[in-house]
Amino acid sequence: MTLTWSKRAAFVAVALLLFVAPLLFTPFRLDLLAKYLCYAIVAVGIALAWGRGGMLTLGQGVFFGLGGYAMGMHLKLVEAGPGQLPDFMSWSGVEQLPLLWKPFANPVFALVMVVVLPVTVALLLGLLIFRQRVRGAYFAVLSQALAAAFVILLVGQQGLTGGTNGLTNFQLFFGLDLYDDADRRILYFVIVVVLGLSYLAVRQLTRSRYGQLLVAIRDGEDRVRFLGYDPALVKTLAFAVSAGLAGIAGALFVPVVGLLTPANLGVIASLELLIGVAIGGRYSLAGAVGGALLFGYAKTIFSESWPDGWLYVQGALFVAVMLWAPRGLAGLANQLRDAVAARRRPPPPVPVPVTLTPEEVRA
């Protein structure tokens, strides 16, 4: 089977990520790319929930944080050692390990909670919200309020979550030394593999009958309900899948960046994830991944060279995309491809007029 240009481009992009980037980038820039790839995992889930399901999720930072804190709690307990307290608890005057932390000493439990915690919260919220037929801007406001409340909760629990400073100074990740460049390259490859598997799984889901039903609900929820389906269950499942992907991304973000603070999880962080998907194209999984990478790179470049004006550029990008390219860069690429194909297509044959003789007309 021949590959289309988009599939060839995807193959080249993956090859560059796997082989070229670690050879060309400095350890610092490679860590930045790994961080962008974590955001791309979240973007795949947003593309499913928003692009396919029409759910404008402004609170993905909550699920990102749940997965991140689940992983961070385990790493801090491993570094502290048996019977010892994490460093921030000692500074905060905590004398005994809280009961909430104790199960996370088990690596299997921590890995399971990375996915189970965000998925469970998303399932509960989805059933409560979608059963009431809340959608559109109302759902967006509720999810944004959830992100703000989550940050307030984290900041107020200094002895439990580290407060404003969060969890910092991670040194080990399942045997990998996070201060060793070779081990950090291994971590980078792990993130690339997880992103690839996430992309393929969601791509298969969108091409299934469920994916078609999700798009039908997005375009006409009431019509699908009249056909006997339950849109609340369908949307809740997509919302839960996006939450699970965000949790996985948060867990990988922790060893890459070396810290996790409420600033990484709040309303602004959630909006930035959404802007990246909007720029790349929320209707395309590949566009969402590319948009997340492009936005992360642009944020780094502009914030380094123009720190005072980056927020204005960020807002202008989002407004410009929504006004003139609502389908994002992926939509523009599809339009360009269709235009090129139309120009290469041979013109239709011109009909030749048939002249009948008088005898043929009388016949």
DSSP string, 349-360: PPPPPPPPPHHH
Residue 259, helix vs strand vs coil: strand
Contact 127, 232 (CB under 8 A): yes
State the pLDDT confidence band at 350, using cuts at 50, 70 and 90.
low
H-run or E-run covering 323: helix 310-324
Q: Domain extents for the chain? A: 25-264
Taking alpha carbons only, the member of 56, 48, 19, 37 closest to residue 240 is 48
Question: Phi and psi at residue 236, in whole multiples of 5°?
Answer: -65, -40
With 0-12 CB in 10 A as exposed, 13-18 as middle and 19+ as buried, what is 150? buried
pLDDT in tens, 105-133: 999 999 999 999 999 999 999 999 999 98
Taking alpha carbons only, the member of 109, 100, 11, 50 closest to residue 245 is 50
Contact 241, 264 (CB under 8 A): no
Question: pLDDT at residue 356 above 70?
Answer: no
Count of alpha carbons within 13 angstroms of residue 135, beta-carbon side = 18
Residue 236 CB coordination number (10 Å): 23
State the pLDDT confidence band at 218, using cuts at 50, 70 and 90.
very high
Alpha carbon distance 57, 270 (integer Å): 8
**CA dihedral for 218, 247, 321, 344, sign (positive or negative):** negative
Question: pLDDT at residue 1 above 50?
Answer: no
Pick the range with the lowest mean pLDDT from 8-12, 236-240, 325-329: 8-12
Q: Identify the residue whose tokens are 């385990």.
A: 74
Contact 228, 192 (CB under 8 A): no
Does the global pTM surpass 0.85? yes
